[in-house]
Amino acid sequence: MQESLQTKIDALPHLPGVYQFFDAKGTIIYIGKAKNLKKRVSSYFVKTPDSPKTAILVRQIVDIRYIVVKTENDALLLESNLIKRFLPRYNLMLKYGTTYPYLCITKEDFPRVFKTRKTLPDCELFGPYSIAGTLNALLELIKTIYPVRSCKLPLTEESIAKKRYKLCLEYHIKNCRGVCCGLQSKADYNAMISDIRTIAKGHSHIVEKYLLDNIKILSEQLRFEEAQRLKEKYDAIREYRQKTVITTQSDATLDVFSFDTDQTTVYINMLRVVNGSIIQSNTIEYKKNIEEVDGEVFSSGIAELREKYASEARQIVVPFVPEFTIDGVEYIVPKRDYKKELLDLSYRNVLQYKKDKYTQAQKLNTNQRNYALMNEIREMLHLDNMPHTIEMFDNSHTAGDEAVAACVVFRNLRPLKEQYRKYIIKSDGGGDDYASMKEVINRRYSRMISEGSKLPDLILADGGKGQVSAVRSVLEALGIAVPVAGLAKNDKHRTNELIFDDKVIGLKPQDSVFKFFTKMQDEVHRFAITFHRDKRSKKQVASELDDIKNIGETTKKTLLQHFKSVERIKKADFDELEKIIGKNRAKILISHFGNYSDSK
């Protein structure tokens, strides 16, 4: 460890805070939170890392900075904010499920309300809604008692005053109150939007109570028709709640969290319970870039989801107490009663999410799966473009003799065999793998430039930093800016690292990116070895037959097809040879092999 780094570690306080690791370029590569900064940061350096990724991270640390905070809760929130801002390479990557829909309320003078699966600008999103039918039931409620506009007209008070629009069919079938023609005031319209927003946040009981109180007042005033209209709205909201929520034995407001994990991902589910009713469920994923403690990841997920839904619940039901506490919040680890049932329900949602994810992956067609994997490669290597075309090179020779090279091409992660290329190394240094690689790269891409062919999106070399540097040097000389990576092997001759941009990326055998890269590696190795063997075999045959004058390719092929080997041709007598290739060529062979006396 560098002396300056050790000095900084020694100076760390025994206080809660957030620490930042920097690499040699001054880039933040990891941000972490700690209840005790000195103990947590020191733990990275006092023992051998448990995983290759953590080991790679530690090797790259050249500077440490920290921020001291008052409480564990402050550390939790500050870490989340800093990670979102700087996106460090080795931190957990948060993934929200994109398959679930949201309720969208636009930020217009006269907002629209609709269902969406996309994150839209200038829009309030409520959700996602993972409980089947919840969002559809909410939209049905809105349509029944809050007839907001569905048109996309750019409505403003000025444009309405100028009478630019006409009433449409939606007004006549009572799905809209004609706000575009001034038949409904802005205040009344926004009051409907306010009710919708309140219900979407899970507080339908507030609207329900408001309606019930007004029904009583109107009834006392003998305004029965108005009371009946409110009663219809009240009944609609009650029906909505019965359709979409599960009612507990208590009217408590609390959050329920559970989680499950595999080797690469942590799944965290949140159930929101408001006044005794489950009003929302959502599961998020954290992609682990280094080995993280489950308690820390769980804490991050709780903070993330509570912030996302602006939860103010003072009680949180969990399977265990997380490492980081939240100010003013009580953690409950239930053993029985309805809270244990809620925790079990949350865990079942996590398992169902994992199952659904697997099922969806199985149903995806090859193109979709390949696109997802290409995007994973792009994110892993921080490529500007999607790697639709990837080319990989490998050399093969026998102690420097019969040196050859091969190039395989994959388009959209599928082998494009008509684009495969074989190369006979022309330079004298056939045993120099770097020189051979430079020659092949130069031949390949100088020709593609001259022909105006489209260059690949990524080039792979079967080798480590030396091979990658060799490829880069040629590309730079040709003025080509194509990303280059290398697949390096360990001392057991097993691929375990990806060399890219002067960095070492650890690969795990279970990762889909590793499986694809090794598939390409096996393919280019097979192609190169096969070509090398064929060339070597042809040379062995050529040494016996190709030097014989007046024995051409056709005759040689005929002889080998019949006798199967040169040794058998040597042992054949004149009569046998004459039947196969004729009298004159039989004499030539007999003479060449030294048994002319046997000829007639």
Q: For 581-600, how does the pLDDT look when each residue is reduced to its tens digit (9 = 90+)?
A: 998 888 888 888 875 444 44
pLDDT of 411 reads 93
- Contacts with 32 (C-beta within 8 Å, 6 or more apart), sequence order: 18, 19, 21, 40, 79
**Partners of 424 in beta bridges:** 404
* Nearest Cα to Cα of residue 13 among 70, 88, 58, 61: 70
Say how far apart CA 45 and CA 3 lie, in whole Å: 13
Phi, psi at 387, each rounded to 5°:
-80, 70
Of the ranges 56-65, 252-261, 350-359, 462-471, which one carries the lowest mean pLDDT score?
350-359
pLDDT band of residue 128 (cuts 50, 70, 90) is low
pLDDT band of residue 74 (cuts 50, 70, 90) is confident
pLDDT band of residue 469 (cuts 50, 70, 90) is very high
For 538-586, how does the pLDDT look when each residue is reduced to its tens digit (9 = 90+)?
A: 655 555 677 788 888 788 888 878 887 778 888 888 888 888 899 888 8
Q: What is the percent of the chain with per-residue pLDDT over 70, rounded to a whole number?
A: 88
Say how far apart CA 87 and CA 92 lie, in whole Å: 9
**Partners of 284 in beta bridges:** 96, 268
> Strand, helix or coil at 500?
strand
Phi, psi at 36, each rounded to 5°:
-140, 105
| Structure token digits, residue 210 | 């408001």
Kindly report the average pLDDT of the chain as a whole number: 83
**Partners of 486 in beta bridges:** 461, 499
Say how far apart CA 521 and CA 394 lie, in whole Å: 8
- Residue 10 burial (10 A CB sphere; 0-12, 13-18, 19+): exposed
Mean pLDDT of 5-10: 87
pLDDT of 600 reads 46
pLDDT of 532 reads 75
How many CB atoms sit inside 10 A of residue 110's CB? 21
For 310-333, how does the pLDDT look when each residue is reduced to its tens digit (9 = 90+)?
A: 888 899 999 999 888 888 899 999
pLDDT of 599 reads 45
pLDDT of 82 reads 87
> Would you say residue 135 has pLDDT above 80?
no
pLDDT band of residue 374 (cuts 50, 70, 90) is very high
Mean pLDDT of 73-88: 84
For 490-538, how does the pLDDT look when each residue is reduced to its tens digit (9 = 90+)?
A: 766 677 789 998 888 888 888 889 999 999 999 998 998 888 777 766 6
Q: Which residue has the higher pLDDT, 546 or 308?
A: 308
| Structure token digits, residue 75 | 């550390």
pLDDT band of residue 132 (cuts 50, 70, 90) is very low
For 379-398, how does the pLDDT look when each residue is reduced to its tens digit (9 = 90+)?
A: 999 999 999 999 999 988 76
pLDDT band of residue 309 (cuts 50, 70, 90) is confident
- Residue 514 burial (10 A CB sphere; 0-12, 13-18, 19+): middle
> Would you say residue 399 has pLDDT above 60?
no
Q: Would you list the DSSP string of 174-215?
A: TS---GGGTSS-HHHHHHHHHHHHHHHTT-HHHHHHHHHHHH
Q: Which residue has the higher pLDDT, 207 or 52?
A: 52
> Would you say residue 244 has pLDDT above 60?
no
CB of 223 closer than 8 Å to CB of 213: no
Residue 57 identity (one-letter amino acid) = L
Of the ranges 47-51, 133-137, 162-166, 268-272, which one carries the lowest mean pLDDT score?
133-137
pLDDT of 541 reads 54
Phi, psi at 159, each rounded to 5°:
-65, -35
- Contacts with 179 (C-beta within 8 Å, 6 or more apart), sequence order: 110, 149, 155, 160, 186, 189
* Nearest Cα to Cα of residue 257 among 180, 346, 331: 346
90 conformational bin, left if phi > 0, alpha if psi -120 to 50, beta if neither: alpha
Say how far apart CA 578 and CA 600 lie, in whole Å: 10
Mean pLDDT of 169-177: 89
For 35-50, how does the pLDDT look when each residue is reduced to its tens digit (9 = 90+)?
A: 899 999 998 887 777 7
**Partners of 485 in beta bridges:** 460, 500
> Would you say residue 32 has pLDDT above 50?
yes
Phi, psi at 333, each rounded to 5°:
-110, 95
| Structure token digits, residue 174 | 């009572």
> Would you say residue 30 has pLDDT above 90?
yes
